[in-house]
Structure 1
Amino acid sequence: MTIEPAQEPLDEDWDSWVDADANAATPVTPMAIAARTEPKGPLALVETAFMASAAALLWLVNFFFPLGPVLRVLFPLPIALLYRRWGPRSAWLGAIVASLLLFVLLGPTRGILFLLPPGCLGVLLGCCWQRRLSWGWSILLGGGLETIGFFFRLGVLSVLLGEDIWTYLTAQVTGFLEWLMGLMGWLGQIPLSTVQAVALVTIALSSLLYVLVVHGVAWVLFRRLGTPIPAPPEWLQTVLDLDAA
């Protein structure tokens, strides 16, 4: 009697070897890392609600007790932290929930103005930090979004007040340029295109500086929370003395 060899163990070994090889060939990308950090339990939901409430509370406190740029620097950080810890879904959910809270507490205008740019900026910065982009790229992208948000706020306020605030802004810039030309002894009328160009450059530089400060605060806070962002350039570490202590 002839005994035929069993084939099942070989088939199982072959399948397991193929599966292992396929898994080994799968690259580890930032998107794959973000997918692993998608909400998987009640902890993500609780933290999303907490961060959304914190973001709305910062906006609320700054509305009633304005402290200048101190609290404004913190506006996008809770949403960015949600992105770093739980992925894009939680970040967008936190931004929308915070906007809805402000919609109920302060009216539709404040809710919309929180979503753009602070809420969207938090999502964008969280995405940049999750992908480990350099500070140059993340500051450039964040500054562009902040500039767009400035003009969005300008348009909303112009509609609510019934006045063209951009005209008022250009008038202020014109007065400053005329004062500067008077100090230098120059005479002449400044073209409107030059005034608008100076205003645009000033707004863009202000937005870039704001996002740079947000990066510095996030680099200090997120490192202590166990979710560090990419390190700043060496020259910036030297200037700010971030490595001290």
Structure 2
Amino acid sequence: MLASTTMNMFKVHGCYRLQSLHSHISQNTLNTSPTTYHKSKLCRISPTSILSSYPQIPTFRTNLKRRKVRVSDIGAPLWTQQNDEEEYARSSEDLTMNGDVYQKTLRLVECSMFAALGGLTYILSSSLAIENYFGCFFALPIVFSSMRWGIVAGRKTMVATAVLLLVLAGPIKAITYLLMHGFLGLAMGSLWRSKASWGVSVFVSALVRAVGAVGYVIMYSFLIRENILALITINIHASATFILSSFGFLAIPSMNVIYAIFGTLVLLNCSFFVFLLHLLYALFFTRLGMKASLRLPNWFAKAI
């Protein structure tokens, strides 16, 4: 009866206290009765004592603090008033007369205008058959662009004029312009920009003009399916033979002599033409107030 009552009391409290025999039964408890033993060992078991009987599992507390995230921690702001003011100041400096953007825009506009002027003048002169009268002005836009904005600007003006002629008049007109006027204007502008002497400038420009003239003759020989150079050399050979026979010389010049005479005549013709262009363009640039950027001969500087 006593045993059953004790078991019921343990069930009410929800646990059984099981301990080893040698730790709970001592020498004194062996002499007591079972009733006295159970009364001495019976105790009230609380939830705290139940939890304390089990092995304690260590718990780890992480001391993590919440980090306060701000906009400045993520990145720099995309726009500030200071950046806006700096950009406005930079744009204002670029749009001034000496600004980089203003100068580039002005150079582009002037090169485009000179290219359009040269191309339209060449087309009108060719259409009205007055090309020989205005041929000395076709290289002027390229020379002016080279003197004002540099050699690169002169080259761009020449290319733009050739493209305009290619679109409006076809490839023949464009190639003819390049051979007879385009490369000549670029050579003159480059030499004048580098402050070369007139002797060097006239010789190099005349050589470029002569090569362009020979190329022009070769191109038209291919187009009409006729060797124009052969016809020219044959006529020169006949004329030279007639002149020698009229002076009493019964000699026939060789073809090498004929070729030398032909080249000399072409070079002389181009030299006179280029020299006249030098005089005309120098006078024109002087009237425009660009005398300081020219290297004029002393006799010409005193004359003007």
Q: TM-score, normalised by structure 2?
A: 0.62
Cα displacement (A) at 1:122:
1.3
Q: Deviations over 1:56-76 (max 9, x none)?
A: 123223312334643111121
Q: Deviations over 1:89-128 (max 9, x none)?
A: 2211111111111112221011122123411221221111
SS of the residue corresponding to residue 137 of structure 2 reads coil
1:128 is matched with which residue?
191
Q: What pairs with 1:42-53 in structure 2 (closer than 5 Å)? A: 42-53=105-116
SS of the residue corresponding to residue 103 of structure 2 reads coil
1:106 aligns with 2:169: yes
CA distance in 2, matches of 1:158, 1:117: 16
SS of the residue corresponding to residue 73 of structure 1 reads helix
Match of 1:145 among 183, 186, 208: 208
Q: Provide the identity percentage.
A: 24
Q: Give yes or no for contact 1:48–1:94 (8 Å, CA) kept in 2.
A: yes
Q: What pairs with 1:69-108 in structure 2 (closer than 5 Å)? A: 69-108=132-171
Q: Which runs of 5+ in 1 are unaligned?
A: 1-35
1:206 aligns with 2:285: no
Residues 198, 74 of structure 1: alpha-carbon distance in 2 compared, 3 angstrom cutoff: same
Amino acid at match of 2:123: L
1:232 aligns with 2:297: yes
Q: Give yes or no for contact 1:102–1:111 (8 Å, CA) kept in 2.
A: yes
Cα displacement (A) at 1:179:
3.1
2:254 is matched with which residue?
191
Q: Give yes or no for contact 2:119–2:161 (8 Å, CA) kept in 1.
A: yes
Larger radius of gyration: 2
RMSD of aligned residue pairs (Cα, Å): 2.4
Cα displacement (A) at 1:163:
1.3
Cα displacement (A) at 1:136:
0.2
- Shift >6 Å, 4+ stretches: 36-39
Cα displacement (A) at 1:207:
1.2
Q: Which runs of 5+ in 2 are unaligned?
A: 1-98
**Which has a greater percent of helix?**
1
Cα displacement (A) at 1:140:
1.0
SS of the residue corresponding to residue 41 of structure 1 reads helix
Cα displacement (A) at 1:190:
2.3
Q: Deviations over 1:185-220 (max 9, x none)?
A: 322322111111100110111111111111011011
Amino acid at match of 2:254: P
Higher relative contact order (CA 8 A, sep 6+): 1
CA distance in 1, matches of 2:134, 2:101: 29
Match of 1:170 among 218, 233, 236: 233
